[in-house]
Structure 1
Amino acid sequence: MNLGKQPAIKSLIVRLHKGSLILPVNLMAELVTGGELVPSEHPGVEGWLHWRNRQIPVVSIESLCMQEEEGESDEGKCLILHTVSALPGLPFIALRVQGGLNTLEILPDTLRDDHSGNMQRCPYVARQVRASHLLCFIPDLPAIEAAIAEVLQLTAEQREPVLEQD
């Protein structure tokens, strides 16, 4: 039985402060520019973005992987993503990004594993690959979302008053 060629996956290449991520296009909800973040004291959560009457946790892959100290990026852009886990209360997360978004059709043979300058096997990065000669990380979204859900459960009582101020 010939199944034929696998279809290409329409993907986004998103620039981070250091490096790039590859994400499926269908996870993207919106690219938000210039949103003010409410500060967060939790590692991995840079802050909270008010978006469409919701508080969305803004995640920094670099700080989750301890690649750099958290700091304001020079551009206030956040990519809002639909979550992949069916976690109650976490329909979206946001990633801090730089520049615009590039799309790429990914076929099974498009990506090449690349272990140069490995991110010390960060548990939030599923694969490190080269796509069109660009070093990219494929994030482990279920692991990131589980970490954020833990933070949300820790802060559920503290978040309520902030939500009521709007």
Structure 2
Amino acid sequence: MATDTQEVYSLMIPIVQSNILLPNSNVAEIVPFSNVELFDDMTNKPGWFLGHLFWRGQEIPLISIDVIQGLSDPQANKRSRVAVAHTLNSNRELPYIAIVVQGIPRLSHVRQDNIKYLAEESLSDAEKMHVTVDDIQASIPDLDQLEEMIMAARSAA
């Protein structure tokens, strides 16, 4: 009897105090924290919208999930990197989002038998849900919500 185990290859990506979990197919690239232009003037900009990453000839909005979660320093250590994630809505104005992350992501094989959903009462605006995968806690970013937040921040500026 063959078993049909469905598995989603994902990346467990460290942020300041926890991890985010994204399907591998959603992550275009993890790049060093360089080619970044941070906003000098944060007037009319939310604190989580840090600036832009210049990547492959494009200007990608740079955000911090840590700041959305209430932390103050998205560059908590010298190992800061940027995860370039595909948006989900085929929005030509916003095909990618750049997220400040910490350290090196780990490949994670997510299956029904190794993922557990955690209580959702303390989700930030950036999160879809909290999970554990092989006993490692992570949040799954709400890419649709992040896209809407960025579009709203751009139009308000």
Q: Comparing both structures, which one devotes a greater share of its residues to helix?
A: 1
Partner of 1:164: none
Residue 71 (structure 1) shift? 4.4
Q: Which amino acid aligns with 2:14?
A: R
Runs of 4+ in 1 over 3 A off after TM superposition: none
TM-score normalised by length of structure 2: 0.85
Which shifted more, 49-58 or 13-22? 49-58
* 8 Å contact kept, 2:63–2:99: yes
* Structure 2 residues not aligned, in runs of 5+: none
Q: Percent identity?
A: 22
> Equivalent residue of 2:105, what SS?
strand
Q: Which runs of 5+ in 1 are unaligned?
A: 156-166
Deviations 1:20-68 (A, max 9, x none): 01100001111111314222322221221111111111111121232x1
Residue 60 of structure 1 is aligned with which of 54, 58, 64?
Answer: 64
Task: Give the number of equivalent residue pairs.
Answer: 149
Task: Indicate conservation of the 8 Å contact 2:74/2:100, yes or no.
Answer: no
TM-score by length of 1: 0.81
C-alpha separation in 2, matches of 1:87 and 1:34: 25
2:132 matched to 1:133? no
Look at both structures and tell me which one has the larger radius of gyration over its CA atoms. 1
Provide Cα deviations, 1:60-111, integer angstroms capped at 9, x if missing partner: 1121232x11443322310111111222310111111111111111112321
2:62 partner letter:
V
Give yes or no for contact 1:9–1:107 (8 Å, CA) kept in 2: yes
Q: Take 1:72 and 1:114, find their aligned partners in 2: how far apart are those partners?
A: 27
* AA aligned opposite 1:127: M
